[in-house]
A and B are shown apart, each in its own frame.
Chain A
């Protein structure tokens, strides 16, 4: 036996040994939001899941926002690389309609029957995993007491300190819906004319319609004084040391934002993917993540500590304006056009 041959044999043996445990391990890919969300979701849900299932290794893939995740799924339709994906529920619906997902029903996880009705969409292959809502985000050093109404956006001392996310972003449309309702509108799923008129009066006071790097950072850096954002992130940012940021749900009510999880059709690791979805919707995972990032759980069985409940909005479900995002999607283009022709020109 020559020396080289001996080395080759030893190498082959080493490879076999190394491959043995790797063979048993399943590599699962989960696509989700990037940044803060990724850090906290890894900690609260993905890592405990991997600990409980040592044979599954989850890779967190973060291409960006919901649209970027859907984009990645569309591009891989012929040969999916992602097993489980999360995104905004209205975008997940679009993906479901294109046939990108497998159904999530009681065959996948028994937790489906414990979900709030808002978390499911009949006919769509998805399941709501987090609830969040629209809040007023503000610099608490500029307000003597927390603002009570969305009208605080018009406060004289907030002139050129308002940082809003404009239409066609969901945040911009959500605020327009809220204003439509406040102005006496009743059919906000099909007509936002009154909301746009309200926006016209707000437009001259607005500093930017496109907060960068994001609305929370603009307020913490004192570049803006008031904004409209999502509750969960606002709560996390308000906790940071020395933060001037605070958030509140005004008396007129709020809107839901729902994130949904989806099972990718033709995923390479279908069995492990079902296991992960089952864990994501379990009371245990839902509770841990809610306590860490203040997203509302979609599983009815979750029992949260009172201190957390008060920070998860909305604790009062009657405050939630019932919005049909699928109906709204049909008038999104008209709203965008009105926005550009009527609102933006008033905002010099």
Chain B
């Protein structure tokens, strides 16, 4: 009898779960899965000069991707730059996140709002703000000039993109780090210090390992956002820095080569998949 009851509740729970998940599964299959499959299909269409889409069933787009070293180059550049931005965002965000985590009461709330507030402004507006800072006659170069240094080329190149993206992705990194700081118990730090560890040892052997899940999550989030970010590289790159996202835009919108753009989009998805695998392995090892 008790067994039957158990079975009854189990199937009831399953029904409930299915019911709760159904809307999101339905929405995702129509607005995410279906378009992705369509993209996959278009990547096998022939690209005609002048922007036409030819018949399907050709592997030409994929051959081109594999043969032309240019695509390997932009892929490596995209991944390399995203890793650099992720690292910089982590280095800049970690102390802030740790400080916010340790703050108390209203002060903590205030700091938290401060961290989130950049997200209330669109990335486009913040990117234009960086133009004013980084331009040849911008804030930074004028300050350098006053100090007697020669101006630096900070805008319309890769340096500009890295600076802009790092700042724009920092709120996400801080939020992810804060979410992962739950396991950080101040008593562990106190214990380490009373047992004679130096602050540096405490940081590397207690704080960093305990906050590692947050670091992993933040890095995954930043990396994925960075590879797919388009507006900031477009505005700060000055047409000099070719990345996967800008290349997809050029092919889809400028040269109207939809099959080529679709092929590159699938490649980006594969990179995301690889990032997820790395993340999952890292988290499993941490646990």
Contacts and interface: CB of A to CB of B under 8 A. Distances in A.
Interface string A189-225: 0000000000000000001111010000000000100
Contacts of B189: none
A51 interface: no
Contacts of B156: 207-208
Interface string B36-64: 00000000000011111100000000000
B255 A336 contact: yes
Interface stretch (B14-22, B221-229, B233-241): B233-241
Contacts of A70: 51, 256
A169 B246 CA distance: 13
Interface string B240-278: 101000000010111110000000000000000000000
Q: Name the interface size band of chain B.
A: 20 to 34
Contacts of B238: 207-210
B51 A91 contact: yes
B136 to A, nearest CB: 6
Nearest to A169: B254
B135 interface: yes
Contacts of B108: none
Contacts of B50: 90, 93-94, 97, 326, 329-330
A208 B154 CA distance: 12
Contacts of B235: 212
A329 B136 CA distance: 36
Nearest to B135: A223
Contacts of B183: none
A67 interface: yes
Interface in B182-238: 234-235, 237-238
B286 to A, nearest CB: 42
Interface in A232-273: none
Interface in B103-154: 131, 135-136, 153
Interface stretch (A127-135, A307-315, A340-348): A340-348
Nearest to B127: A212
Given A168-B250, A212-B234, A160 B136 contact: yes
A59 interface: no
Nearest to A221: B131
B239 A166 contact: yes
Interface residues of A, number: 36
A94 B250 CA distance: 17
A287 interface: no
A348 B153 contact: yes
B51 A337 contact: no
Contacts of A67: 51, 252-254, 256
A329 B49 contact: yes
A330 B234 contact: no
B50 to A, nearest CB: 4
Given A70-B256, A94-B256, A210 B234 contact: yes
Contact of A97 (B52, B136, B242, B254): B52
A344 B239 CA distance: 8
A209 B240 contact: yes
B252 to A, nearest CB: 8
A332 B153 contact: no
A68 interface: yes
B253 A65 contact: yes
Contact of B49 (A160, A165, A332, A341): A332
Given A65-B253, A67-B254, A209 B49 contact: no
Contact of A94 (B52, B136, B252, B253): B52
Nearest to B237: A210
Given A168-B250, A168-B254, A94 B51 contact: yes
A316 interface: no
A99 B49 CA distance: 16
A91 B266 CA distance: 25
Nearest to A212: B235
A207 B153 CA distance: 10
A106 interface: no
A165 B252 CA distance: 17
Nearest to A345: B240
A168 B52 contact: no
A335 B116 CA distance: 45
A209 B238 CA distance: 5
A326 B48 CA distance: 12
18 contacts: A70-B51, A90-B50, A94-B50, A94-B51, A97-B48, A97-B50, A97-B52, A98-B52, A207-B156, A207-B238, A208-B238, A208-B239, A209-B239, A210-B239, A329-B50, A329-B51, A333-B49, A348-B240
Given A67-B252, A209-B239, A332-B49, 10 more contacts: A64-B253, A68-B253, A94-B52, A207-B156, A210-B237, A210-B238, A212-B234, A333-B255, A340-B70, A348-B153
Interface of B: 48-53, 70, 131, 135-136, 153, 156-157, 234-235, 237-240, 242, 250, 252-256
Per CB-CB distance, the 9 closest pairs between chain A and chain B, nearest first, are A209-B239, A210-B239, A208-B238, A329-B50, A94-B51, A166-B239, A208-B156, A330-B49, A67-B253
